[in-house]
Chains A and B, each alone.
Chain A
Amino acid sequence: MKHTLPSAILASRSQTPVREGEICAVRVDFAFANDITAPPAIRAFREMGAQGVFDPGRCAILPDHFTPNKDMAAAQQAKEARDFAREQGLRYWEVGRVGVEHAFLPEQGLILPGDVVVGADSHTCTGGALGAFATGLGSTDLAAAWALGETWFLVPPTLRVTVEGRPSPWVGGKDVVLALLERLGVQGARYKALEFSGEAFAHLTLDDRFTVANMAVECGAKAGVFVPDAPILAYAEARKARPFHPIYPDEGASYEAVVEIDAGSLEPLVAAPPSPAAVRPAKTFADVTVDQVFIGSCTNGRLRDLELAAGLLKGRRVADSVRCVVIPASYEVFKEALRRGYIATFVEAGAVVSTPSCGPCLGGHLGILAAGERCLATSNRNFTGRMGHPESEVYLAGPLVAAATALTGRITDPREV
């Protein structure tokens, strides 16, 4: 039987033949939770009667959401997570050495090509950028994966997404994935997997691919997996925490559909609230003023994102009417941005720079919105109340639109500034 890439990865981890539409049990290579999803997983783990995780080196907890602890309740959750990590000897990194889970784990070489990765967080699909079948689960599922080292999946049909053409310098991974969302809608890939390939990615950085894979879940997808190529293999080889074996799709595998995107014709895009699929060119939002700009998150808080934003902000000032919050997604990103002078650029431009955290993305802290306020964010969701008050609004875009918007105080196509 010929497999698409997502099916081929599942088949490599299953003891029985894997067929689309059927359920299979698969071994997991890595299983993690964060400070919010770990406490319920720990309780479920105990209730199952489990004593130990299947392999402490393949299990992790990352304190990234409400950290540094934003209040007493968050401190309690973080403590419960930390105590369990110590008890079980699983991988854990303290605030000051960690990062947003989906940015940090690939840097540590813990998500690798050919892996099956499960995380108690919906944006676990980000790991697909490295050719892993990575998917989000709830806490109870994650507890079972910690206990057993395996989980079950309904083998999804695959949509093949090919992105061809050479994108303009003003277009990045966020514009590619917003274009995909515009095409598929928020449930166009529900219960399906995406398989990404195409010439356009040779012109973009690996960070752009993380952005694309990150928002696969916004189309409803179970996973969004890139076909391994030289940049993926070089990144993984340089960082691997264990051996890995890349997996490729079979020639002649059957896809439910092929979605073709011409990156050469894309322009900077924005998704309007309350749907990540309500996508239009940035220039059509020119009359929308904002109170806040957020540059960060597991979607767009990596070095390339900060590089692009700093490039536009250098020597300029954030508009008086705007609070611009910049949050590097990991300490590696933070340190390198510091070394390259991006952090100084942000501070001199009048932006807030914070320690790595999910921050305001999910309405946690470090930039919550009041009623009637509007934010242009590089994160992944703009649902009602996502970043604070239900009468606040979030527009989604890439780092160039975000930096341009911070300069003008209204949603701005970066080609204008």
Chain B
Amino acid sequence: MDQKKLRGRAWVFEDNVDTDLIYHNKYLAETDPKKMPQFAFEYYPGKEKFAKEVKPGDFVVAGRNFGCGSSREHAVYCLKEGGVPVVLAESFARIYYRNAINNGYPVLFVKGLSQGIKDGKIVDGDELEVDLATGTITNLTQKTSFHGDAVADLENEIMTAGGLIPYLKAQVAQ
């Protein structure tokens, strides 16, 4: 399979998922990103078992304004280190978006996803195929599809370098 085509199950969230729900404040003293996935979505109603049951390759799918609230990068690490290859959302809160890019963590802006979730066109457990090159998201279970826009310009340069740290290292080396 093409490396840019990913397959996995959907974990579906609503609009305005805040950083306290993604990664609760009581674990902010944890500093090792590898230990953060065990706390992901611990208190999200109906998703309390996310951390235990998520499989590498599963997708986080959400509506508008994903990651609103605090600037904590834990909310990116807990998904990235947990094996979620990309977050699909109609839109992202700006600090979350920057944090994702800076950590080389792909996000896709998916038109109509908020309404699609409300209409049940993507539900928990649906099998998705995500083509990161074209932005096409195919819901293999429901035979529906969505289109997402990958990041462009400077953000894409930072992302493809693997994040802000390798990007800046490369710049310094030049």
Contact = CB atoms under 8 A, between A and B. Distances in A.
Report if A and B associate in a common complex: yes
B29 interface: yes
Interface in A355-412: 362-364, 381, 383-386, 390
A168 interface: no
Contacts of B172: 48-49
Interface string B140-166: 000000000000011000000001110
A190 B91 contact: yes
B72 A37 contact: yes
A282 to B, nearest CB: 24
Interface string A160-198: 000000000000000000000000001100110000000
Determine chain A's interface SS by DSSP, over half rule.
loop
A390 to B, nearest CB: 4
Contacts of B45: 384
A362 B95 contact: no
Contact of B43 (A39, A65, A148, A384): A384
A169 B24 CA distance: 38
Interface in B54-105: 64-65, 68-73, 76, 91, 93-95, 98-99, 102-103
A39 B31 contact: yes
A366 B4 CA distance: 48
Contacts of A364: 25
A73 B29 contact: yes
A122 B25 contact: no
B132 interface: no
B160 to A, nearest CB: 16
Contacts of A65: 28
Interface string B20-41: 1100111011110000000000
B153 A23 contact: yes
A383 B69 contact: yes
A87 interface: no
A122 B70 contact: yes
Contacts of B30: 73
Given A44-B165, A140-B102, A220-B68, A385 B16 contact: no
Contacts of A144: 102, 164, 168
Interface in A19-69: 23, 36-37, 39-40, 43-44, 47-49, 65-66
Interface in B114-161: 153-154
Nearest to B163: A140
Contacts of B163: 140
Interface size class of A (residues with CB under 8 A): 35 or more
Contacts of A386: 20, 25
A190 B67 CA distance: 12
B98 A137 contact: yes
Contact of B94 (A37, A40, A191): A191
A362 B70 contact: yes
A138 interface: yes
A270 B15 CA distance: 22
B43 A385 contact: yes
A65 B25 CA distance: 11
A66 B29 contact: yes
A222 interface: yes
B29 A385 contact: no
A65 B21 CA distance: 19
A136 B169 contact: no
B25 A385 contact: yes
B165 A47 contact: yes
Contact of A120 (B29, B71, B153, B164): B71
B16 A187 contact: yes
A318 to B, nearest CB: 26
Contacts of A141: 98-99, 102, 164
Most buried by A among B29, B163, B172: B29
A278 B21 CA distance: 18
Interface in A112-158: 120-122, 136-141, 144, 147-148, 152
Contacts of A66: 28-29
Nearest to B31: A39
A77 B24 CA distance: 18
A232 interface: no
A23 to B, nearest CB: 5
Nearest to B21: A384
Nearest to B91: A190
Given A66-B29, A362-B28, A364-B25, 11 more contacts: A76-B29, A77-B29, A122-B95, A140-B73, A140-B99, A141-B98, A186-B68, A187-B64, A363-B20, A383-B20, A385-B43
| 9 closest Cβ pairs, A-B complex | A73-B29, A138-B99, A390-B43, A187-B65, A363-B25, A140-B102, A383-B20, A383-B18, A122-B71
Interface of A: 23, 36-37, 39-40, 43-44, 47-49, 65-66, 71, 73-74, 76-77, 120-122, 136-141, 144, 147-148, 152, 186-187, 190-191, 220, 222, 275, 362-364, 381, 383-386, 390
24 contacts: A23-B153, A23-B154, A37-B71, A40-B31, A40-B73, A44-B164, A48-B165, A48-B172, A49-B169, A136-B95, A138-B73, A140-B165, A148-B168, A152-B154, A186-B16, A186-B68, A187-B64, A187-B93, A190-B91, A362-B25, A381-B18, A383-B18, A384-B21, A390-B24
Interface of B: 15-16, 18, 20-21, 24-26, 28-31, 43, 45, 64-65, 68-73, 76, 91, 93-95, 98-99, 102-103, 153-154, 163-165, 168-169, 172
